[in-house]
Structure 1
Amino acid sequence: MAPLQRRPMQHIDRKDLYTNLETRIQYLHSFLDFSSNDIEALIGGSKYIKALIPAIVNIVYKKLLQYDITARAFETRSTSYEGPVDPNLNDSSPQILHRKMFLRGYLNKLCSDPSRMEFWEYLDKVGMMHVGQGRKHPLHVEYVHIGVTLSFIQDVLTEAILSHPRLKLDRKIALVKALGKVIWIQNDLFAKWYVRDGDEFADEIQVPEIEREGYLHGRKILHDGSESESEAEAPAADPGCPFKGLAMKTNGANVGDISNIESQWQWSSVHTNTSHMTAISRWGIMVLRLVMFQAGGMCCVWLASVGA
């Protein structure tokens, strides 16, 4: 029996990883096996993700306001500030309401076409904006908070997708895998602005053009789902940071948002108590119990309905 042939070892130019964004993205795609199947899953599943965005944004923003160290960024533009934080700051505070639309817009951007380099250029720009670059009024959010927020978003999205009663299991798995790859690439595009790897190439590193937030190459590409693509490309007078705003107008999770998801998914009303994702289920949406285990690299999922 002839020995199995292995793929030839690919050469990756280390300098290019730090000086050429497209090369870095190609390497990440190759390493993660991010392929046309993932793109198809993301585009095909975008309508389900968009239906979830309002409630997910509320959950994430509520989480950020639970801790003074993350909440202070919304007052001082820096998580390293050591002074007191307004104890009355909440998700209905005027300055918070102004910022809430931008995570919604960011998540809608994740539902766009990842086959275009513009998609990844914008994710890179999001990373740059959180280290005090590319802004008239710098924003400094330390990496520990960035990483944990991305993980929290991934956790909420994963549970919501796997709990969907109308999506077939193979589509759920494909969508969860594709989103996981995108979020981890986003994590890398944050980390590249924080870590010092490749500093010897600093003079040759490509720095994104400094322009208004939500814009790339002079065109508005970030919108919150309430406008069409053509409207999104029109000039806007009030841009903002996509990751510093993290929810819709609500006190806790908005019942209206939940009703919208219930209408989109046609879920029946069954009251139950579960974990943090029950910001959706607590308001009368059927909950599915998810039991996951990993064996041999394959993720297996069992879904059992909670009794009425």
Structure 2
Amino acid sequence: MIPIDRARLSELAYRVDFDRQFIEFTKEDASTLNAAAPLLLPIITDIVEGLYEHLFEWSYTKEPFTHRNTGFEGDLKSIDDLSLDDPQMLLRKKMMTMWTAKILTSDYEDPKTFEYMDKVGVMHTGVRSFGRQPGFAHRENKEPLFIDLQALSLTLGWVTDVVLTIVMSFPRTTLSTSKKMAVLRAFNKVVWIQQDLFARHYTRTDEEAAVNLARINAEKASEQEKERIAKEEEEEAVEDKLAQLAVKDLPDVSL
């Protein structure tokens, strides 16, 4: 059994090393992605266009694009007026194109690759950097960008499905069946590592969760106590009012 120091999973290098071991992402997987890059890079633009068309189908996944993105200083449009060709969206699509290209071309033995993927996770959490979080330099002191983890996870799932469909559609003269399987397995593994590097900035450890739960319970108890006191005061006020009315209604028995 391989020992894992749970406390060290907050360290990026240690966490990624465990991710790679567990999911069995090897040097061969990395080489497979790099080798497939010439086939997939020319169609990344189409993949990204399809992704954003899909995201625009629901208000939940379109609404985040109505907020200002780092590097964009133009006018923002409402959710109803925003189109895929607006400057704000062109910038977003450029960033997604860059991420997809990096997944295919990066050196996975270089720690900077996973530092980049981790920063992608940080920048979507709504956390301001101000030197506290290892976010991108261009987000220092900027308005926070927040995207729900659910939306991020579904986006990765959609992209994975599209890449699977594209790779499987290549003729065997271009890519043999065994190589198709190798590309898809490698891509899937990297996507799950990225998913973990999203999740680690959204979720808490058991200890942190326990502290947070205790705080929530304390706040709930405090609110319940306030409600109890308010109810008692209300009941006392009603009783006092009834007592006053009863005194007024007593017959005059003075001689």
Deviation by residue 1:109-163 (Cα, 9 ceiling, x = unmatched): 1122222111111100000000112331210101110110000010001110111
Question: Aligned to 2:201, what secondary structure does the other structure show?
Answer: helix
**Match for residue 183 of structure 2 among 143, 161, 175:** 175
Give me the whole-angstrom Cα distance separating, in 2, the residues matched to 1:154 and 1:69. 21
Counterpart of 1:49 (choices 40, 53, 64) is: 40
Instruction: Work out the CA distance in 2 between the residues paired with 1:113 and 1:52.
Output: 21
In the alignment, is residue 104 of structure 1 matched against residue 97 of structure 2? yes
**Equivalent pair of 1:77/1:138 in contact (CA under 8 Å):** no
Question: How far off its partner does 1:26 sit?
Answer: 0.7
Equivalent residues of 1:129, 1:139 under 8 A apart: yes
- Counterparts in 2 of 1:134-213, with a 5 A limit? 134=129, 135=139, 136-165=142-171, 166-197=174-205, 200=208
Counterpart check, 1:61 vs 2:67: no
Which residue does the alignment assign to 1:128? 122
1:31 corresponds to 2:22: yes
Q: For the Cα contact (< 8 Å) 1:90–1:96, is it kept in 2? A: yes
Give the SS at the match of 2:84.
coil
The match for 1:93 among 77, 80, 86 is 86
What root-mean-square deviation, in Å, do the aligned CA atoms of Structure 1 and Structure 2 show?
Answer: 1.9
Whole-Å separation in 2 of the counterparts to 1:124 and 1:98: 20
Deviations 1:257-305 (A, max 9, x none): xxxxxxxxxxxxxxxxxxxxxxxxxxxxxxxxxxxxxxxxxxxxxxxxx
Structure with the bigger RCO (C-alpha within 8 Å, sep 6+) is 1
TM-score by length of 2: 0.69
Give the 3 Å change call, closer, same or farther, for CA 198–129 of structure 1 in structure 2: farther
Unaligned 5+ residue runs, structure 2?
Answer: 70-76, 130-138, 210-255
Q: CA deviation at 1:85?
A: 4.5
Q: Distance in 1 between matches of 2:190 and 2:156?
A: 11
Matched positions, count = 187
In the alignment, what sits opposite 1:11?
Answer: 3
Determine the C-alpha separation between the residues in 2 that align with 1:115 and 1:178. Answer: 15
CA distance in 2, matches of 1:181, 1:77: 32
CA deviation after TM superposition for structure 1 residue 77, in Å: 5.7
Q: Calculate the TM-score normalised by the size of structure 1.
A: 0.58
Q: Are the aligned partners of 1:68 and 1:85 in contact in 2 as well (CA < 8 Å)?
A: no
- What amino acid does structure 2 have at the position aligned with 1:126? V
Shift of 1:200: 4.6
**1:118–1:68: structure 2 CA closer, same or farther, 3 Å change rule?**
same
Report the Cα distance in structure 2 between the residues aligned to 1:41 and 1:199, rounded to whole angstroms: 39
Deviation at 1:105, TM superposition (A): 0.8
**Structure 1: distance between partners of 2:7 and 2:98:** 33
1:74 aligns with 2:65: yes
Distance 1:11 1:105, change over 3 A: same
In 2, Cα distance between the equivalents of 1:113 and 1:10?
Answer: 26
One-letter code aligned to 1:103: M
Cα deviation, residue 98, structure 1? 2.9
Q: Secondary structure at the match of 2:188?
A: helix
User: Which has a greater percent of strand?
Assistant: 1
> Structure 1 CA distance, aligned partners of 2:206 and 2:17?
18
Which one has a larger percent helix, Structure 1 or Structure 2? 2
**Percent identity for Structure 1 against Structure 2:** 34
In 2, distance between residues paired with 1:114 and 1:87? 41
For 1:75 and 1:31, how far apart are their aligned partners in 2? 38
What is the rounded CA distance, in whole Å, between the counterparts of 2:115 and 2:90 in structure 1?
27
Give, in whole Å, the separation in 1 of the partners of 2:96 and 2:207. 30
